[in-house]
Amino acid sequence: MSDVLNRTVSAFNNRNFAVAGKLAAEGLAGAQGRDELFWMGLLEACEGYQLLAQKQMLESERKLVASMQKLRNFGFRYKNFEITVALAGLRASVERIRAVQSGKHRVFDVSLHPTLRLAAKADD
């Protein structure tokens, strides 16, 4: 799982959301048990940002909210993935989308897309 997760995070952080989504789908295909929910949440986050890049805000918001609902079940960290960092970024994006939809902001600033993070490994 860690190689696919590393590549997914890297693609996402490079704003290659379509590639990140394909990698997350690969992770989901090989997942079992609790890992399935994790990968579903990660996949929905990637799909949500891909939709946002295509200016499909309503669908993007739905995917991002669904992603948060799944990922919030994993505490602070899961499989070396910083859940709290991802959730904070997802939440901020949903709030920005809602601000644009309500007319409070004119456009969604894509430079504010979050980054995903893996936990730093301790030296032995």
Helix, strand, coil percentages (3-state) for the chain, rounded to 5, are 70, 5, 25
Predicted local confidence at residue 111, as pLDDT? 65
> What is the tens place of the pLDDT at every residue in 86-117?
999 999 999 999 998 888 877 776 666 788 88
Strand partners, 77: 82
Half-sphere exposure of 84 (CA within 13 A, CB side): 4
Q: Look at phi and psi of residue 80 and say left if phi exceeds 0, alpha if psi is from -120 to 50, else beta.
A: left
Task: Determine, yes or no, domain membership for 12.
Answer: yes
Task: Determine, yes or no, domain membership for 119.
Answer: no
> What is the tens place of the pLDDT at every residue in 7-45?
999 999 999 999 999 999 999 999 999 999 999 999 999
What's the rounded Cα separation, in Å, for the pair 114 and 12? 9
Q: What are phi and psi of 78, to 5 degrees?
A: -140, 125
Mean pLDDT, to the nearest integer, of 44-65?
95
Based on the structure, what is the number of domains in the chain? 1
Which domain covers residue 47, as residue numbers? 2-104
Q: Looking at residue 91, which CATH number applies to its domain? A: 1.10.3450.10
Confirm if 17 and 60 have CB atoms less than 8 A apart: no
CB within 8 Å of 120: residues ≥ 6 apart: none
Task: Determine, yes or no, domain membership for 85.
Answer: yes
What's the rounded Cα separation, in Å, for the pair 39 and 6? 13
Task: Determine, yes or no, domain membership for 114.
Answer: no
